[in-house]
Amino acid sequence: MIFFWMGLSAVIAVVFVILPLIASRGREPEEADDSTPAVLMDQLDEVQRDFDRNLISQAEADAATVEIKRRILAAARKAGPERSTSSSSGRAALLIAAVFVPAFSIGYYTLMGNPDVSSLAYADRQAERAEQQKIQELTDKLFARLQAEPDGGASEGWMLLGQTYYRMGSYSKAVEAFETVAQRDDATSAVFSMLAEALIQAEDGIVTPRAEAAADRAIAMDDGNPAGTFYKAMALEQKGSEFEAHDLLLARLNGADGFAPWMEAFVGLANNIGERIGKEPISLTDFAPAMAAAPGPTQEDVAAAGEMSEADRSDFIRSMVDRLATRLEDEPDDLDGWLRLANAYKVLGETDQAKEALARASTLVAGLSPDDPRRDAVNQAMQELN
Amino acid sequence: MIPEIGHFALALALGLALVQSILPLIGANRGKLLWMRSAKATAIGQLVLVGLAFAALMRSFIVSDFTVYNVAANSHSLKPMLFKVAGTWGSHEGSLLLWTLILTLFGAGVAFFGNNITETLKARTLSVQAWISTGFLSFMLLTSNPFDRIFPPPADGNDLNPLLQDVGLAMHPPLLYLGYVGFSIVFSFAVAALLEGRVDAAWARWVRPWTLAAWTFLTGGIVLGSWWAYYELGWGGWWFWDPVENSSFMPWLLGTALLHSAIVTEKRDSFKSWTILLAILTFSLSLLGTFVVRSGLLTSVHAFAVDPERGLYILFLLTLTIGGSLTLYAWRAPALEAGGVFKPISREAGLLVNNLFLGVATGTVLFGTLYPLFMEAVTGEKISVGAPFFNATFIPLMLPLVLLMGIGPFLSWKRADIPGVWQRLKFVALLSVLLTLLVGYLTRGGPLLAYIAMLLAIWLLMATLKEWAMRIRLFDVPFADAMRRARNLPRAAYGMTLAHSGLAVVMFGMIGSSAWKSEEVRFVTPGTTVAIAGFDVTYEGVERVRGPNYFSDRGTLDVKRDGEQVTVLYPERRFYPIAESSTTESAIRSTLAGDIYASIQEPAADSADESGAWILRILYEPLVFLIWIGSGMLILGGTVSISDRRLRVGAPRRKAAVPTNATPAE
């Protein structure tokens, strides 16, 4: 459908290029007259009118008339027979142009266009909004029920509510829900790190003293909770203690055994800070030799990577990523693969390519059922990149 | 799908523009009629395709298709429909698309109606026009694509700045662009004439309606912007010498010079090279205006550097256009034949002096606008050049110009006799002095400059009316006879009379509202009465009201004079929750004598909030309404002048088949 309309507009463009060919067929086009004498004749009339109206004297009128007449003569002399070759010559150039215009546009569009992204009018997204509305109602109901319960509601209920609010982007409401649990005796480290996270989001990324206190509590209760350490590092960074923040992140990374998903975020933040304070960039493979065990490096690869120099290692990672990218070109329907690729690019700091991979992922997501968790994964990754 | 078709249509339009920038030009040089003719078809084709793209974008805005990034960033599903539509050109990308649409519209206009210019001039003009559209289309496609997509779409859009949700402002950019881009045609004609090596009366006459049309639109755009600032910003001023305003004012000033210079080229075959230079410079300033505003260069040199890709492209285009055309000018202009000679005292000389004043004034504004940018770029220091600079430099340049404007129309071409002119004007001069004394008596005190300006404005009005009266020989011949003459007067003459007297009326408004303005700013609680300029304004209180996408605190002000009710004013403070920002809606009571202008603001302190105190600002601006009336006269003058039959004379009989309403630029 879309290609039909594009084709039609290309045809329109081509028609406009070759129109002179069609129009000139069978008749010799007439020449346009030079209009200079007409304008000058009109000026003669004007002088006469001005004279009639007593605006100028007889002498002035005569002088003006003589001068304009002289110009008419001059113009007539100049309009020599500087005339063209026959109208039929040069057809080839027009035909070349007629090929060039669509070829150029299709070439450009192939590079820059998004033909598979459909358009979605706001009015046609009722279902999506209804879905959101339903979630909203459910959360509201949950909130009401939790509040109505005599013991203040189950902690699990409040945590679920907080996480739902967080995902909906209602960060201040999420803070309220987490806080309710945080005040209880059964509050775990995770409760405090989630609270810290929600507090930071509510302030658009600023770590307030309240958020830092929550992160401190999370570490105090369980120093293995990476989220607590992460937000603590952010707090330190924002307070200007970049070295301390960097050390904290590295210490936690070194203390980990084996790869864990949170390490990517740690490496990203550490490199961000490191760049400003002049530290060597670190790489995920320093800490997680078993990274990306899934379709990619074999045990041997990983072992080899461990013995490589810094430069070799980054080349190695690059080649892994490239291999994944090539494979995905052949199997473009592999949603998980695209997500992994996007993640890899993100870690390498290549945001544009990460976005591209996510765009591919999002086209696949469109075909999934609305409650598929991977939908959220793509959305979230998109938002993080933008 | 529809946004993608728009995107593709833009690419096709660029393809056509590329063909049109080369083929007709070579055709004109080699005398290949077919190639020259192709310009006409491709120019119309460009309009069709860019129009398609524009329609696609507008449709995306109307249905709130948030898969288009531009729509998501600049619209919202709750926005009133009018502003959804206006959102099409509200953003950087959209306004570029509008610019290009208007560009192709004018190009197609030349292609369609230009049957009375020579084939070679037309081909060259359209080629030059295509260079400009190539520049803009490629700029748009490479750096500012209005059809960038985003998927999955955000739940709702980001709204448009509520300050910009205003009918006046919705119409402001299109008018301004019609003005800016109108000058592109004149520029193309000028460059084509340089390539052709021929400038004659027909050329000048062909250029004039386009200049007039562009000038009229630009005037409308500037006035609308100024009017918007007056009633929306809540400061009660109508001109702030803001860089954005300046960048639209500069092409206006030079365009005014161009308008007058083109008359000399047409009537006297003189000023050719000067007219061409003005045409080039006017469009260069239009480009500078568009780009400087669009690139964010004005906010700060650093904002420009944030997006170096865009900025560099702009710089490249500007350098190419201005540098290229001026080089061509330097190379070809000396070859143009000199035209009619004239004496130092003549209408030509008068117009030359007018041109010089306008040119110098433009230079002054340009300097004041760009100087802070250079300073920031070189020293890193941020300075601002404000109203005091412009008042001190611009006004002294304008006043002698106004004096001259009164005399100019009385001068005859080639050589004029001063005693004769004085004979006709001495009563006007005397009357003006007397009227100024009367103003002095009525106002009792004010700045000297205000009285000088008042004298000149009255002089201009009187002299313009006298010139009209003379033309129809009012009081010389029986009244009915004079009226018959008045009816037969060419429309261009009425255009001049309207525009010149319009400027005088604008001046009255400017002088009155600057020199004799009164202002009161107070903390008010319900019941407080503020006395201003003979009015007693009582503050009754504030209430909360709801609008379609905002809610507002609306104040009630009871205005009395000598105990008698005059009017009730409702200034508002609106809050837009989605955009999380507020706007001021001032309440204005306009009369010819002056405006009462009221705006309210939230109290600064919380304690004041509890006591119900608000900050009330009341202004009395005498005569300010005359600015809008006078501006209307300027616009009307331009319109009447375009409709003059003589501007269509190029090929008077040949176009008989074309209906009269299909003439260019009408």
B317 and B444 belong to one structural domain: no
Q: Which pLDDT does position B657 carry in this prediction?
A: 36
Would you say A225 and A256 are in contact if contact means Cβ atoms under 8 Å apart? no
Instruction: State the residue range of the domain holding B464.
Output: 409-515+629-633
Domain boundary among B408, B437, B464: B408
The answer on pLDDT for B391 being more than 90 is no
Residue B666 domain-assigned?
A: no
pLDDT tens profile A1-19? 788 999 999 999 999 998 8
pLDDT at A86: 54
- Between B30, B68, B152, which is nearest A362 by CB? B152
Boundary-marking domain end, from B130, B160, B190: B160
User: Same domain, yes or no, for B192 and B315?
Assistant: yes
Quick: pLDDT tens for B309-363.
Answer: 777 788 888 899 999 999 999 998 888 777 777 888 888 899 999 999 999 999 9
Same domain, B356 and B219: yes
Rounded CA-CA distance B108/B112 in Å is: 6
Q: What is the mean pLDDT of residues A295-301?
A: 51
> Measured between alpha carbons, how far is residue A350 from residues A329, A341, A357, B149 in Å?
18, 11, 11, 20
What chain A holds in terms of domains, given with CATH numbers, is 289-386 (1.25.40.10)
Q: How far is B138 from chain A, CA to nearest CA, in Å?
A: 11
| Across B171-181, average pLDDT | 84
B479 with B601, same domain: the answer is: no
Residues B25 and B85 placed together within one structural domain of the fold: yes
Total structural domains within chain B: 4
Question: Which single residue is written with the structure tokens 């670190």?
Answer: A282
* B contact test, residue of A2, A14, A16, A135 with most B CBs within 10 A: A16
Query: Of B408, B440, B470, which one is at a domain's C-terminal end?
Result: B408
One domain for residues B334 and B363: yes
pLDDT at B343: 82
Residue A23 has pLDDT above 80, yes or no: no
Nearest CA in chain B to A366: B152
Asked if residue A150 has pLDDT above 60, the reply is yes
Q: Smallest Cβ distance to A83: which of B31, B60, B413?
A: B31
Alpha-carbon distances, residue A147 vs A167, A211, A318, B258, B309 (angstroms)? 21, 25, 53, 76, 55
Average pLDDT of the segment spanning A230-238: 88
Q: What is the pLDDT of residue B659?
A: 38
Report A:174-233 residues touching B (Cβ under 8 A): none
Whether the pLDDT of residue A145 is over 50: the answer is yes
Q: How many whole angstroms separate alpha carbon B285 and alpha carbon B369?
A: 12
Q: How confident is the model at residue B160 (pLDDT cuts 50, 70, 90)?
A: low
pLDDT at B649 over 80: no
What does the DSSP assignment read for A146-157? HHHSTT---HHH
Is pLDDT at A384 greater than 80 in this prediction?
Answer: no
| Residue B665 resides in a domain | no
User: In terms of DSSP H, where are the helices of B445-551?
Assistant: 448-471, 479-488, 491-515
Asked whether the beta carbons of A37 and A69 are under 8 A apart, the reply is no
Could you tell me if residue B134 is inside a domain?
A: yes
| pLDDT of the residue at B609 | 52
Q: Strand B587-590's sheet: what is its strand order?
A: B518-524, B614-622, B594-601, B587-590
Q: Which of A309-313, B374-378, B483-487 is predicted least confidently?
A: A309-313
Residue B192 in 3-state DSSP? helix
pLDDT at position A179 over 90? no
- Mean pLDDT of all residues in B457-486: 88
Based on the fold, state whether residues B449 and B459 are members of the same structural domain: yes
Claim to verify: residue B446 and residue B394 sit in the same structural domain: no
Residues of B within 8 A of A85 (CB-CB) are 30-33
Average pLDDT over residues B287-308: 65
As a whole number, the mean pLDDT across chain B is 85
* Residue-level pLDDT at B466: 92
**Contact of A86 with B518, CB cutoff 8 Å:** no
Q: Is A1 exposed, middle or buried (0-12, 13-18, 19+ CB in 10 A)?
A: exposed
Q: Which chain A residues touch B152 with a CB distance below 8 Å?
A: 362, 365-366, 378-379, 382
Determine the Cα–Cα distance for residues A345 and A353; give it in Å rounded to an integer. 6
Q: Are residues B542 and B600 in the same domain?
A: yes
Which of A75, A122, A378 minimises the CB distance to B64? A122
In this predicted structure, what is the pLDDT of residue A158? 84
A142-151, B213-222, B509-518, range with the lowest pLDDT: A142-151
The residue of chain B nearest to residue A102, with distances taken between CA atoms, is: B12
Q: Number of C-alpha atoms within 13 angstroms, CB side, residue B45?
A: 32
Which residue, among A5, A8, A9, A368, would best test binding to B if mutated, counting the most B CBs under 10 Å from its CB?
A9
pLDDT at residue A296, rounded to an integer: 46
Q: Is the pLDDT assigned to residue A330 strictly greater than 80? A: no
- Radius of gyration in angstroms for the set of CA atoms belonging to chain B, rounded to a whole number: 27
Pick the more confident residue, B654 or B575: B575
Q: In Å, how far is A79's CA from the nearest CA of chain B? A: 11
Q: Is residue B661 part of a domain?
A: no
- Name residue B46's beta-bridge partners: none
pLDDT of the residue at B502: 96
> Do the chains contact at B473 and A53, CB–CB below 8 Å?
yes
Q: What pLDDT does residue B279 have?
A: 94
CB distance A122–B66 less than 8 Å? yes
Cβ atoms of A208 and A179 closer than 8 Å: no
Task: Identify the weakest region by mean pLDDT among A38-42, A113-117, B315-319.
Answer: A38-42
B189 vs A123 pLDDT, higher one: B189
- Is a pLDDT exceeding 80 seen at residue B479? yes
* Cβ contact A13–B35 (<8 Å): no
Task: Quote the tokens at residue B102.
Answer: 């208007």
**pLDDT recorded at residue A300:** 56
The pLDDT value recorded for residue A250 is 85
As a whole number, mean pLDDT of residues B225-236 equals: 79
Q: CB–CB of A20 and B18 under 8 A?
A: no
Q: Higher-confidence residue: B391 or B14?
A: B14
* Residue B91 and residue B70 in contact, taking contact as beta carbons nearer than 8 Å: yes
Predicted model pTM: 0.75
| pLDDT score recorded for residue B56 | 95
In this predicted structure, which of A27-36, A161-170, B218-227 has the lowest mean pLDDT? A27-36
Confidence of residue A294 (pLDDT cuts 50, 70, 90): very low
User: Are A21 and B34 within 8 A, CB to CB?
Assistant: yes
Which of B1, B48, B411, B467 has the highest number of chain A CBs within 10 A, making it the mutation to test binding with A? B1
pLDDT at A349: 72
* pLDDT, tens digit (0-9, with 9 covering 90-100), for A339-365: 878 877 776 777 788 888 888 887 777
CB within 8 Å: B1 and A118: yes
Q: How far apart are CA B455 and CA B432, in angstroms?
A: 6
> Whose CA is closest to B25, among B182, B188, B136, B135?
B188
Across the interface, of B45, B77, B490, the residue whose CB is closest to A122 is B77
pLDDT recorded at residue B190: 94
Q: Which residues contact B653 (CB under 8 A, 6 or more apart)?
A: none
Q: How far is CA B352 from CA A101, B203, B346, B397, in A?
A: 46, 20, 10, 15
Q: Which residues in chain A touch residue B42, judged by CB atoms under 8 angstroms apart?
A: 16-17
Nearest to B49 among A2, A9, A119 (CB): A9
Residues linked to residue B581 through DSSP beta bridges, in sequence order: B576
pLDDT of A140: 83
Does B276 map to a domain?
Answer: yes
Read off the pLDDT of each residue in B558-564 and give the average, rounded to a whole number: 89
Domain assignment present for residue B647? The answer is: no
B281 with B362, same domain: the answer is yes
Buried b (16+ CB within 10 A) or exposed e, B606-623: eeeeeeebbebbbbbbbb
Q: What is the mean pLDDT of residues A280-305?
A: 58
Specify whether the CB–CB gap between A158 and A178 falls below 8 A: yes
What digits encode the pLDDT tens for the residues A46-76? 778 777 766 667 777 887 788 788 877 877 7
Q: Are residues B46 and B178 in the same domain?
A: no
Lowest mean per-residue pLDDT among B48-57, B359-368, B499-508, B587-596: B587-596
**CB contact, 8 Å: A59 with chain B?**
no
| Closest residue of chain B to A96, computed from CA coordinates | B19
Q: Is the per-residue pLDDT at B655 higher than 50?
A: no
* Shortest Cα distance, chain B CAs vs residue A241, angstroms: 27
The band of B665, judged by pLDDT with boundaries at 50, 70 and 90, is very low
| Interface-testing mutation among B200, B272, B476, with chain A (most A C-beta atoms within 10 A) | B200
Average pLDDT over all residues of chain A: 78
Q: Are residues B489 and B554 in the same domain?
A: no
Q: What is the pLDDT of residue B6?
A: 94
Cross-chain CB nearest to A13 (options B4, B15, B646): B15
Reported as a pLDDT band with limits 50, 70 and 90, residue B647 is low
A 338-357: CB under 8 A from B: none
Distances in Å between the Cα of B358 and the Cα atoms of A40, B241, B250, B361, B398 are 29, 17, 9, 5, 8
Residues B240/B229, Cβ–Cβ less than 8 Å: yes
- Of the candidates A16, A23, A129, the beta carbon closest to that of B16 is on A16
What is the tally of helices (H) and strands (E) in chain A? 18, 0
Over 70: is that where the pLDDT of B591 sits?
yes
Query: Would residue B311 count as lying in a domain?
Result: yes
Q: What average pLDDT does the segment B501-526 reach?
A: 90
| pLDDT on residue B648 | 55
Asked, for residue B650, whether it belongs to a domain, the answer is no
Say whether pLDDT at B285 is over 60. yes
Confidence of residue A306 (pLDDT cuts 50, 70, 90): low
Is a pLDDT exceeding 80 seen at residue A83? no
Of B3, B8, B267, the CB nearest to A43: B267
Portion 125-144 of A in contact with B at CB < 8 A: 125, 128-129, 132
Using one digit for the tens of pLDDT, what is the confidence trace for B406-448? 998 888 888 888 888 888 899 999 999 999 999 888 887 888 9
Q: Which of B2, B4, B48 to mutate to test the interface with A (most CBs of A within 10 A)?
A: B4
Closest chain A residue to B12, measured at CA? A105
Check pLDDT > 50 for residue B660: no
Asked whether residue A292 carries a pLDDT value surpassing 60, the answer given is no
Report whether pLDDT(A131) > 90: no
Please tell me which residue of chain A has the smallest CA distance to B474: A53
Report the gap between the CA of B413 and the closest CA in chain A (Å): 9
Using CB atoms, which residue from B2, B77, B152 is nearest to A379?
Answer: B152
